[in-house]
Structure 1
Amino acid sequence: MASLLWGGDAGAAESERLNCHFSNLVHPRKNLRGIRSTTIPNIDGSLNMEENDEDDVVDLAANSLLNKLIRQSLVESSHRVEVLQKDPSSPLYSVKTFEELRLKEELLKGIYAMGFNRPSKIQEMALPMMLAHPPQNLIAQSQSGTGKTAAFVLAMLSRVNALELFPQCLCLAPTYELALQTGRVVERMGKFCVDVEVMYAIRGNRNWCFKRKLIDLTKIRVFVLDEADVMIDTQGFSDQSIRIQRALPSECQMLLFSATFEDSVWQFAERIIPDPNVIKLRKEELTLNNIRQYYVLCENRKDKYQALCNIYGGITIGQAIIFCQTRRNAKWLTVEMMQDGHQVSLLSGELTVEQRASIIQRFRDGKEKVLITTNVCARGIDVKQVTIVVNFDLPVNQSEEPDYETYLHRIGRTGRFGKKGLAFNMIEVDMLPLLMKIQDHFNSNIKQLNPEDMDEIEKLEY
């Protein structure tokens, strides 16, 4: 019975307590059976639970898991894929169907049983490289919802020999929640594969497995580093990953995936993955051309709310997202709108990841018309029905200067998929200079709106 092993951790806050030294894991142990973790701890609420007036700061691991939970089906990215081959003279293959990959019948059945009808864009380019003989190393930039987990799971399952009774594939994820998510994909895709088991090495179970020296790294055939940008942001994981890589055999296939390709990720990837093929997403070009932007001058928070009510009552709204800079403002605004009879949900960083995912799904399903949020929701969430974005507070950085990137991603929640959108900025007089900096930065026109002029407001949707 062959095994695949998943390593996970509980996040940066616990990395010291759960730190494992992998250099002592290279001793062989035969006849290792699949070990299943039957007791799965709840998400531990590692996010800050205290009431405060600061911006929500959500760690990379939590954001990564949130994206996995809210993107249950494949999201066909509009990004263009750029492929850099280690051998530029080699033909570049892509596939349009899974049959072209000449997979084992049990794997093909598993893919279709999961509801995959055809490869996603990232899979079209990545799978021929990942399934090639001899195995090829790969560094790929891919976000949640693009099918990258299914791609590397397929690669691992295709390399496993069920007659050899030891772990043959190792996948590292930065948190135990992400490890469980990936392991479940393996179990679903591999349900027709006889005698292939998943062993979860998470938290206490992880330490137990490694201390008993149940894993011979010299026999690992596929090594996957998932969410590499989160991994290197988490204390201890970068060094641990390097120690594992040094113990792996030269013929082991190395696969690294990251949502971002910042310099730190590139340096880490080049250090750990020899002679890779590289798949990159060309930088997203967010545009404001189809979003009309307005600002309303207000005296205080209550004045902002009254202006918001005038706008909300004067135009037809599909759904709206309202951004606040602090949790306190977000909670206050939620109470005010609910008391006025509006269908409102609140999304902020003190909620668990699963709670946030549930709120976003309810909003996506139209059960609430207004989502009030801090910067937790500033990017990555596409809801087609959103026609209005409101900046109840302008986004600013720690230097009290405009946070241009956050502003761009906030108002980018409307105007999705080529549709027109409206963005309103509720501005107190002392914040007007910052708004003018934003206008100049994006070379866009942000018009002043009088919230008392209902005729002007009613014209906005036409």
Structure 2
Amino acid sequence: MLAIVLNALLRVDRNVNKVQIVILLPNMELLDQIEEYFEKLTPEDITYTKINSCSICIDNLGQIIFSSPGLFFNAANMIPALRDVSVLIIDECDEVITNKIYHEDLIKYVGQIKNAQFLLYSATFVDVVNNFINKFSPNIARIILPQNNNIKHFYIDCRNIDDTIPVIAQLFPFISQSQTFIFFNTRRYIQAVQQLLEYMNIACEWCSPDRTKDDRREVVKKFRNQQFKVLLTTNLLARGIDIPSCNVVINFDMPRMERFEPDYDSYLHRSGRCGRFGKEGKVFNIVKYNDDMHMLCYLYQNYSIEFTPITPDEISKFIKLVF
């Protein structure tokens, strides 16, 4: 996200006092994060506005606007200034472009800013996104960063479901020295794991879409400030969140889509929550089903991700060697 902020600041014409750059982000957590970057890095002669409600002061719009897509498109329908921009930046563009709720609004808006430059960011580009690019910006320059090799991947075979909670108990005496994300597909096991961690005197919190916005904002803020060690969450926080002190990700559930289909993109995004800014990261995958193993094989064959196996009986001995 730092790259997005710097890119936006460098493209502002300081002599032109109007909206020039629009940045779209898929959720509140990323909006809060990018606002923190702008607060720290923006020079006094550049202005920015965060759209976080339906009520906007038209006379006080900054040169840079950042917003969630839904709120922004509502505003753009009412405010002509938002349809006369030079740069459109979309973070986590695959999630934004494939969202059916505002896909038509996005297409309409892009048609209104034909002379604008597009900057699209994501760790994954699905076919829908590539089709969007070919339609609206066929000559776009693609910059593909090399794969992050400072993250190591492990898996623990827990196809006996009863082993899953004890495995967490074995992992944490060794890795609780680092901040850790634990990802779940649903809230089903979050409470049980939270109770276990609290019993082990490990400070933790949980964050999922069914918490209030204020609660979610407070949890992420505390985690970023290292006020607790472990954040239990869903794919809500799989994308784009920068926690420099996080070195460990645990997939309690291998990522799945609604019909239990494997979600390879979410695996890559979850993994990217650790090992930020060149630090070494570790991803531990708890394998419960045969389909989970098939998912690891696919990731190895298609993304060259190597997975080191750990048996539940060897966890304590193995973790001592790698930490």
Aligned to 1:413: 273
After TM superposition, the structure 1 = structure 2 runs for residues 357-436 of structure 1, keeping only pairs within 5 Å, are 357-398=217-258, 400-430=260-290, 431-436=292-297
* SS of aligned partner of 1:452: helix
Give, in whole Å, the separation in 2 of the partners of 1:366 and 1:185.
39
Cross-structure match for 1:293: 153
**Count of residue pairs brought into register by the alignment:** 285
Q: Which runs of 5+ in 1 are unaligned?
A: 1-74, 80-118, 158-170, 190-201, 246-251, 271-277
Aligned to 2:221, the other structure's residue is in SS state: helix
Structure with more contact order per residue of length (Cα contacts < 8 Å, sep ≥ 6): 1
Task: Answer whether contact 1:138 1:254 (CA < 8 A) is retained.
Answer: no
**2:9 pairs with 119, 123, 131, which one?**
123
In 2, are the aligned partners of 1:226 and 1:257 still within 8 Å (CA)? yes
1:280-302, Cα deviation, whole Å (9 max, x unpaired): 78345442x11121111114444
Provide the rounded CA distance (Å) in 2 between the counterparts of 1:309 and 1:408. Answer: 25
Which AA in structure 2 matches 1:76?
A: L
What are the superposed Cα offsets for residues 357-413 of structure 1, whole Å, 9 maximum, x if unpaired? 221111111111100111111111111111211011111335644322111111121
2:308 paired with 1:308: no
Map of 2:318 onto structure 1? 456
Please report the TM-score for the alignment, with normalisation by the length of structure 1: 0.50
From the superposition, tell whether residues 433 and 310 of structure 1 become closer, same or farther in structure 2 (CA, over 3 Å). Answer: same
Greater gyration radius: 1
Amino acid at match of 1:446: F
Aligned counterparts of 1:253 and 1:401: Cα–Cα separation in 2: 37
> Is the contact made by 2:206 and 2:233 (CA closer than 8 Å) also made in structure 1?
yes
Q: Is the 8 A contact 1:256 1:269 kept in 2?
A: no
Paired letter, 2:222: R
Deviation of 1:330 (Å): 2.4
Say which SS state the counterpart of residue 318 (structure 2) adopts.
helix
Any idea what the Cα deviations from partners look like across 1:179-219, whole Å, max 9, x if unmatched? 66x75994799xxxxxxxxxxxx9xxx9xxx8xxxx9x6xx
1:120 and 1:291 map into 2 onto residues whose CA distance is 26
- Kindly provide the amino acid, as one letter, of the partner of residue 322 in structure 2: L
- Aligned pairs for 1:139-154 (under 5 A) are 145=34, 147=38, 154=46
Corresponding position of 2:181 = 321
What is aligned with 1:330? 190
* 1:223 to partner: Cα distance: 3.2
- Structure-1 separation of matches of 2:6 and 2:297: 42
Stretches of structure 2 that go unaligned for 5 or more consecutive residues are: 26-30, 64-70
Read off the aligned partner of 1:443 and give its amino acid letter.
Answer: S
User: 1: CA distance between counterparts of 2:248 and 2:214?
Assistant: 26
Contact kept? 1:223, 1:253, Cα under 8 Å: no
Tell me the percent identity: 23
Q: How far off is 1:120 after superposition?
A: 3.1
Paired with 1:303 and 1:425, the residues of 2 have a C-alpha distance of 13
Counterpart code for 1:460: V
Residues 290 and 418 of structure 1 are in contact (CA less than 8 Å); yes or no, is this contact kept in structure 2? Answer: yes
Cα separation, partners in 2 of 1:444 and 1:257, compared to 1, 3 Å? closer
Determine whether 1:177 maps to 2:52: yes
> Using a 3 Å threshold, how does the CA distance of structure 1 residues 422 and 445 change in structure 2: closer, same or farther?
same
Change (3 A) 1:364 1:221: closer
Paired with 1:445 and 1:239, the residues of 2 have a C-alpha distance of 39
Cα RMSD of the aligned pairs, angstroms, is 4.7
CA distance in 2, matches of 1:183, 1:254: 26
User: Which residue, 273, 287, 304 being the options, matches 1:443?
Assistant: 304
TM superposition score normalised by structure 2: 0.68
1:424, CA displacement in angstroms?
Answer: 0.7
Over 3 Å counting, the alpha-carbon distance change for 1:291 and 1:139 in structure 2 is same
Question: Residues 223 and 147 (structure 1 numbering): CA distance in 2 closer, same or farther, change over 3 Å?
Answer: farther
